Amino acid sequence: MQISKKSPKENILLVGFPSNGLVGTFTISYLVHHLKMKQIGEIEHPDLPPTLFVENGEILPPIRIYKKNNLFVIMSDLPFDPFIAYDFAESILDYSKKNQIKKIIMISGMETVNRDPKLPKIFGLVTHKSLEKLLYDYEIPKFLAGSIFGTDAAMITAFRKSRIPALTLYAECHPFFPDPEASVVAITTLARVLNVKVDTTDIKKKIEWLRIQHRNLMEETIHSLQQRQQEKKPGRTPQIYR
């Protein structure tokens, strides 16, 4: 679908990738399928391992771009090491400028071992004060203190230095296992912000299956999150294909 130049709705970009609890992956993937969004491009990077996914007989690249009306999505099925994270963030910032994106919403998981497993909470962190009203309007508690690493930190750093405001939604989750319960909280919160109706009944019925299905991806994600920078490698800008 094409966006009319006269459309009063602002362009919004959602970003999700494997991190704690796979919350970003679960949440963005659900919305893409629920809203029947159309894939319009992909991102490649020379340092990514050669990987493809197959879904219903269709070959999918690991980092894809989707769009429907004024809503854009960039989602990855691969975790990033620290070197690629900065390139990924810069490529998304560049893409946002070229497509007149007015707001970024990133979904991620907050490592919390002692949370109530049935009542995970969600917090918001904004790069610009212009988005603080959004937290107030949707009763999203503000992320007040903590450390941020990896791709999350690279993304937030890139956008806090730009004119494009970004909101990160952090759902409490288990750090070492896929956490569909936390993803349900993230999905319902994001749906309220976007004014989209969702039904998470199907996810709740498949929670154990989802946990097992995504176990390998979680192991890869943990390995990526634990990597330490050994030597500085020159960055190479990812290529965006339409």
Backbone angles phi, psi at 168, to 5 degrees: -110, 125
Q: The domain 11-226 belongs to what CATH superfamily?
A: PAC-like subunit (3.40.50.10900)
CA distances from 166 to 14, 132, 146, 188 (A): 10, 11, 18, 19
Each residue's pLDDT tens digit, 221-236: 445 444 433 434 444 4
Average pLDDT over the chain reads: 77
pLDDT digits (tens), the chain, 242 positions: 344 444 458 999 999 888 777 888 888 888 888 889 999 988 877 777 667 767 777 777 778 899 999 999 998 887 777 677 888 888 889 899 999 999 999 998 887 766 665 677 899 999 898 888 898 899 999 888 877 777 888 888 888 888 999 999 999 887 777 777 888 889 989 999 998 888 777 665 555 554 445 455 445 544 544 443 343 444 444 444 43
225, two tokens = 């999150």
Determine if residue 22 is left, alpha or beta; phi over 0 gives left, psi from -120 to 50 gives alpha, anything else beta.
left
* Domain spans, the chain: 11-226
Rounded to the nearest angstrom, the gap between the alpha carbon of residue 74 and the centroid of all alpha carbons in its chain is: 7
Query: Residue 64: beta bridge partners?
Result: 42, 75
Three-class SS of residue 23?
A: helix
DSSP state of 102: E
List strand residue ranges (DSSP E) for 69-196, in order: 71-76, 101-111, 122-126, 166-173
Q: Residue 169: what residue type?
A: L
Which residue, 228, 207, 224, is CA-closest to 216? 224
Neighbours of 9 (CB within 10 A): 11
Helix count and strand count (H, E) for the chain? 8, 10
Q: How far apart, in whole angstroms, are the C-alpha atoms of residue 220 and residue 49?
A: 12
Q: What is the reported pTM?
A: 0.78
Burial 34-62 (b: 16+ CB within 10 A, else e): bbebeeebbbebeebeeeeeeeeeeeebb
